[in-house]
Structure formats: structure tokens, C-alpha cells
Chain A
Amino acid sequence: MAERIQSIVVAALDEINRTREEKIPTDNVLDLCLYGDAGVFESMYLVAFLSLVEESLEDEFGVEVSLTSEKAVSRRVSPFSSVRRLIAFVEEELELVGARG
């Protein structure tokens, strides 16, 4: 499941890179920091990126996952601190709702 989530995240980044002058580096994508110190998104861009990922998750797994739920934002270590953590968070959420694997 993690690989499928990673593909969705990478596809969203690729999509965004198409219109970016300074490309987001995706070679070491798991360690990529999305938001915060050294993050690649400023807040509004993060909102747009998360919408894109949520949309693809719904298409892929058939369930709605909120990436900005209270659960997501109250984590001690933010799911947006790296792609690895975002994938882990999504995986947990999908397992909870029993998404189609």
C-alpha cells in the first residue's frame, strides 16, 4: 500500500513541477520536507498540494482521507515534515477505514 501512496504523492509533485521554474527535487522523495523549515511549499501551495493528493487517494482507494484533520495537525511530528511521514499517516488512515488494498 505504501508504494501506491508514494506513487500518488510523486505524481502530485510531478504535476506541480510541470509549472514550476525551480523544480521540487524528487530523487530522494521520502526525505523531502513538505512544510516547515526547509519545506518545499508555502502554506497556500501546501493547501493546493494536499487537495491534489486527497483527490488521487479517493480515486485510487475509494475512500475520503482528510490530510488536514485534527488528528493530522495535532501530531507531535507533523505528517508534512516529510513525504515518509505523510505516507505513514495516509497508510494508517486507510487501514482504519479498511480501504481496498
Chain B
Amino acid sequence: MARSKVAIIGGGPAGSVAGLTLQKLGHDVTLYERSRFPRYRVGESLLPGTMSILNRLGLQEKIDAQEYVKKPSATFLWGQDQAPWTFSFAAPKVAPWVFDHAVQVKREEFDQLLLEEARSRGIAVHEECPVTDVDLSHPDRVVLTVRRDGKTVTTESDFVIDAGGSGGPIARKLGLRRYDEFYRNFAVWSYFRLEDPFQGDLKGTTYSITFEDGWVWMIPVKDDLYSVGLVVDRTKSAEVRERGADEFYRTTLAKCGQAMDILGGAEQVDEVRIVHDWSYETEVFSADRFFLCGDAACFTDPLFSQGVHLASQSAVSAAAAIDRITHHGDEKDAVHAWYNRTYREAYEQYHQFLASFYTFASFTEPDSEFWRKRRITESDDERLTRRKWFEKLAGNGPEDSAGTVASFRDRASTMISIGRHQRPGLSDEFSESELNAARVRWISDLTKRLNSISRFRWTGGKALLKPYYRVEPLGFRLEQREVLANEDDLDMTQYPMDDETRQIFQDLAEEEFGYRTLVKRLGAVGRQELSTQIVLRLMEAGLLTGYDEHGETVVVQGRLHFGGVGVEYEV
């Protein structure tokens, strides 16, 4: 079996998960980490998809032994005078690796656990070894310059994964990074000694709370510690310089009454820390012999706690991609195209929802620079005109600009209505089961909308199969699969398809039947349970448009999906 030598830059979650996956796939890995672990990091809140990946990498027992705080949900006090709402992670266990919760971790412990696991499985881990240069100019190898024991050495590998965080060398060297002008925040945070103030279904949840100058995160980590951070506009940095970080933190946090209510008289037990929190991405996530993972590739505002998840998901994907290229060198370009596309789509998914949630809150918070800057009110807003996802997201053509912006704001409000609590404030009385009524209503509304589709139109004249890739959920190998597309290469990549299913859509392109018929026909080829998702994803992809009996377009509002390699969560 062919093997590759892979160098990994960075020993955070992206680097360790990439190493563990590559090792599982049979490759030789050397990992260089600039610091010595344990080392402090912010970003304590994880998502269930990360749990799922770690479970399948065989870390479940070690994770369980840490007794991390179980995170059942994320709770938002989003917009003034709005009842709290909760994204619950509750999910039926359709496969052993589907998790209904995440965890809150001390990153210094969590990151060390992953790195030690990599070391114990035979990966060469070198701490206190910064990579100072990466030479990508050779067609057959990568050359790294590494500082080690006070000496500069060079080392060669077949591939390199840059998981070196925001300071990772490859994006910097190649000048690939693009900042998002509209989300230039900075975060200021510290820790409080506070026993979780809520029991029952709020216990362990992450709070995100808006106030006039931005929003506050509150995360319960182990040993009755609460991480409490402010996300504010970069223009506030002048105030920090003038008044000092401690004073700025104390007085700004005091403006957020709901956060202060949760904190009560809790004692601050750590220093105040500050970090730039600027959203960015890179023009290219991988090419030739390099892959960027985690913060080395992209970063977006931490509202949805997606940082470690994007890191671990991209790490698995990069490892699977390297494995595929090693065994199928002729597919190199297609595999890179897959990696770039799937990673960018995952990142943009969070970015879209972020923009939607900020816009929603901007209409309920008092007028302030933070919220004014983040409000999207016109469809020619620069954030939208350079992002084709906006038109797709809103489901309207450019001729309907007012409707487009309204739909965009509604996206957040739809999700909020699903998770809204039945009382105005936080309370121990909250139970996740009280959300079921709103969810059932949403399901009912969705079903009615879908059932009202008497005619689907397929975009283009042909329903075709085209090759794509999918990471196999247990083995983590990248496998070739076929997905649905039309003759203009518009495609839907989430679900692999076969010729029997393709024929249904070819028939639909010619006969234009409605939702009920389509579901029945999908059921006949064994796609019963996935039929609704397939239809919705084809609509999102722009391949299907539904019309009711009056010829009006039927618009379906999507929810936030987040993947976990082989499993998908929706909130």
C-alpha cells in the first residue's frame, strides 16, 4: 500500500486530528508545534460534529475520562426585549457516531489530550519547533525550514498541512488571505468563579447575549469557571488604549445587564485578555502539495462556536484528500477542487448565518456603531454583491431587492422562532421539550409548503450524474461518488446518487410533476427517509424550483446545517 510522508505545522486540534486521521490511513506523519503544551487557548465551546469525529478516531474513552462540561445546546439572548431561544443539539441516534451534545473544554487540556494521543499512536511530534519557511517550489516535494534545539534544519515531505492557526506560514507567504471588512471585531475576555446558575436543560449551555456595543459569550468550563468574553467593534480599541484593558472590560461588560444578572456577584479570577477577531478566508485552501486547515485557512466570528469544528472537519478532509492523491495521482486536480469547494461552502454557511443574525439583532438593539455596521439593509450592500451565496440564500432574483433583504433577515427570525422559550427570561423551568410545539409547527408549515408544490421545474434539460467525493464516515477514506447535476454543471453534492434516482429527475425535467409524486418515486428506489432533504437541497442548489397550483413559486426557508464528516446536524 502506498504511503506518503506528511509534515503538519501546528499541534492544535486541526494538526492533531489531521495527524490522527493520516496515521489511521497508514501514512507517515511528522508534526511541528511552535510552543510546548499545555498552552493556553481561547475557544472553549465545541459542536457535536467534533465529538462525532473524535469518537470515530477512537478517542471516546479519553474524552469521557476528562469529565468535561456537557453542552446540550447554545442559548441566545439575541436582541433586546426578545425571549431567550435555544439551539438544541438533541438528535436521534441514526448512527453510533451521532451525538446529541458537545462539550465545553479548557483548551489547554483538550489540545494536549489530542496531541498526546497523536504521539502515543506513533506520530513524531516535535514541540518548541517553529516552522520558519515552507518551500513549495519543487514539483515532487515540500521543504520545511524548522528551528529545533537552537538550530535551523530543513526537512522534506511529500505533502504539508498548515494547521498553524492565524499565524500559519503558508497563507502568509503566498499572500492568500482576504479579510472581511465588515466583521473586524476584537474580543476581550476573562474568567469568573461561578457555579452554573441554571439546572435542568440549561445546565452546560453556552450563552450569547447582545448589548449595545456588541455581544457577550458566557461558557461554563470545568471547576466552576465561566469564560466571559465581549465581542466589540475594532473602533473600541482606542478606548482600550486610553482606559486600559481591565477598566474597559469591567465597564463594557457592565452595560450588558443580562450577562450581569447571570454573573450575580461572581468573582473574576483571571486576567483580562484581548485578541483581534477579524473574519478572513484564503483565496486557495489547497493546491499541489499543501493544505490549509482550521484558522490557517479561515476564521469567522465565534458566535456559533464553530472554530474547533471547522478545524477538525477540514483536518479529516485534508488527510482523506492526501490519502486519495497518494493512491490516485491522476485525480489530484479533482481532489483539490473538492477540498476547496467543500471547505469554502462550510465556512460560508456560518458566514451567511452570522450576517443574518447580526442583521436581525441590529433592528432590536439601540442604535450603535457595532450594530449599524453589521446591518444589511440593501441588496447592493458590498457584503452581498461580492457573494453569490446571497442570491441563492434568499431564493429571489436580483430584480426583487426588497424581498431579498427581507428574506435574509427572516432567515434568522425563522430559526429564532423555532427555539424561543415560553417565558421572557432565563429560568430553571426551561425544558427543551417546550420547544417541540414550535418545531412541530415549523414541520407542519414546511410539509404544507412542500405539499403545495404541484409542479417542479428542473433547471436545464438534463439530469446527469457527475463524479464527486465523499469521506467515508468510518474509514475516513475519500471515495468517489456520483452526484446530480445538469448540463451547465449546476449540482447538488450533499447526497450521492445512482442512475435509478437520476432517471426520476430526468423524468421530472420532461414531465414536471409535483412533490407528492416525487417523494413517492424516491421512496420506490429506497430513498424514503432522505426524500425531503434531497428535495430541499436540490431547491437550495437551484436545480429544482417548486410552483403551486396558481403558478407561484414556493419558497422554503432553510435552517443552519453543520456537517460532521458523514453526519449532518441541523438547528
Chain A residues with a Cβ under 8 A of chain B: 12, 15-16, 18-22, 35-37, 39-52, 55, 68-70, 72-73, 78, 80
A37 to B440, CA, bound (A): 13
Q: Can you list 11 residue pairs at the A/B interface with Cβ under 8 Å?
A: A22-B94, A35-B440, A37-B433, A44-B533, A46-B443, A47-B532, A49-B528, A49-B529, A51-B531, A55-B519, A55-B520
Q: Are B432 and A73 in contact (CB under 8 A)?
A: no
Closest residue of B by beta carbon distance from A17: B529
Q: Are A45 and B529 in contact (CB under 8 A)?
A: yes
B526 within 8 Å of A (CB atoms): yes
A46 to B442, CA, bound (A): 12
Chain B residues whose C-beta falls within 8 Å of the C-beta of A72 in the assembled complex: 444
Chain A residues whose C-beta falls within 8 Å of the C-beta of B444 in the assembled complex: 68-70, 72-73
Query: Is the interface on chain B under 10, 10 to 19, 20 to 34, or 35 or more residues?
Result: 35 or more
Name B410-458 residues within 8 Å CB distance of A.
Answer: 432-433, 436-437, 439-444, 446-448, 450
- The one of A49, A51, A70 in contact with B516, judged by C-beta atoms closer than 8 angstroms, is A51
Chain B residues with a Cβ under 8 A of chain A: 90-96, 432-433, 436-437, 439-444, 446-448, 450, 516, 519-520, 523, 526-533, 536, 570
Known: A35-B440, A51-B519, A78-B440. A43 touches B528 (CB 8 A): no
Chain B residues whose C-beta falls within 8 Å of the C-beta of A50 in the assembled complex: 447
Known: A16-B529, A73-B441, A78-B437. A41 touches B446 (CB 8 A): no
Chain A residues whose C-beta falls within 8 Å of the C-beta of B91 in the assembled complex: 42
Closest residue of A by beta carbon distance from B435: A36
Chain A residues whose C-beta falls within 8 Å of the C-beta of B95 in the assembled complex: 21-22
Closest residue of A by beta carbon distance from B522: A48
Majority-rule SS of B interface residues: helix
Given contacts A16-B529, A51-B531, A78-B440, 19 further A-B contacts (CB under 8 A): A19-B529, A21-B94, A22-B96, A35-B443, A43-B443, A45-B532, A47-B443, A48-B528, A49-B528, A51-B447, A51-B516, A52-B523, A52-B528, A68-B444, A68-B447, A72-B444, A73-B440, A73-B441, A78-B436
Closest residue of B by beta carbon distance from A15: B528
A68 to B432, CA, bound (A): 21
A35 to B433, CA, bound (A): 10
Known: A22-B96, A50-B447, A51-B447. A43 touches B526 (CB 8 A): no
Q: Are A44 and B570 in contact (CB under 8 A)?
A: yes
CB distance from B474 to the nearest CB of A (A): 10
A70 to B444, CA, bound (A): 8
Known: A68-B443, A69-B444. A48 touches B529 (CB 8 A): yes
CB distance from A75 to the nearest CB of B (A): 9
CB distance from A25 to the nearest CB of B (A): 11
Chain B residues whose C-beta falls within 8 Å of the C-beta of A45 in the assembled complex: 92, 94, 529, 532
Q: Are B94 and A51 in contact (CB under 8 A)?
A: no
Q: Are A37 and B432 in contact (CB under 8 A)?
A: yes
Closest residue of A by beta carbon distance from B531: A48
CB distance from B532 to the nearest CB of A (A): 4
Chain A residues whose C-beta falls within 8 Å of the C-beta of B441 in the assembled complex: 73
Chain A residues whose C-beta falls within 8 Å of the C-beta of B536 in the assembled complex: 44
- Residue with the highest number of chain A CB atoms closer than 10 Å, among B94, B516, B530: B94
A74 to B523, CA, bound (A): 29
CB distance from A32 to the nearest CB of B (A): 11
A39 to B440, CA, bound (A): 12
Q: Are B526 and A19 in contact (CB under 8 A)?
A: yes
A55 to B447, CA, bound (A): 13
Closest residue of B by beta carbon distance from A72: B444
Closest residue of B by beta carbon distance from A40: B92
Chain A residues whose C-beta falls within 8 Å of the C-beta of B446 in the assembled complex: 43, 47
- The one of A20, A43, A69 in contact with B94, judged by C-beta atoms closer than 8 angstroms, is A20
A42 to B95, CA, bound (A): 13
Chain B residues whose C-beta falls within 8 Å of the C-beta of A51 in the assembled complex: 447, 516, 519, 531-532
Closest residue of B by beta carbon distance from A16: B529
Closest residue of B by beta carbon distance from A45: B529
- Residue with the highest number of chain B CB atoms closer than 10 Å, among A22, A48, A68: A48
- The one of A40, A46, A47, A70 in contact with B450, judged by C-beta atoms closer than 8 angstroms, is A47
- The one of A15, A44, A47 in contact with B523, judged by C-beta atoms closer than 8 angstroms, is A15
Chain B residues whose C-beta falls within 8 Å of the C-beta of A16 in the assembled complex: 528-529
CB distance from B363 to the nearest CB of A (A): 27
- The one of B94, B448, B532 in contact with A48, judged by C-beta atoms closer than 8 angstroms, is B532
A48 to B515, CA, bound (A): 11
CB distance from B129 to the nearest CB of A (A): 42
CB distance from A74 to the nearest CB of B (A): 8
A70 to B443, CA, bound (A): 11
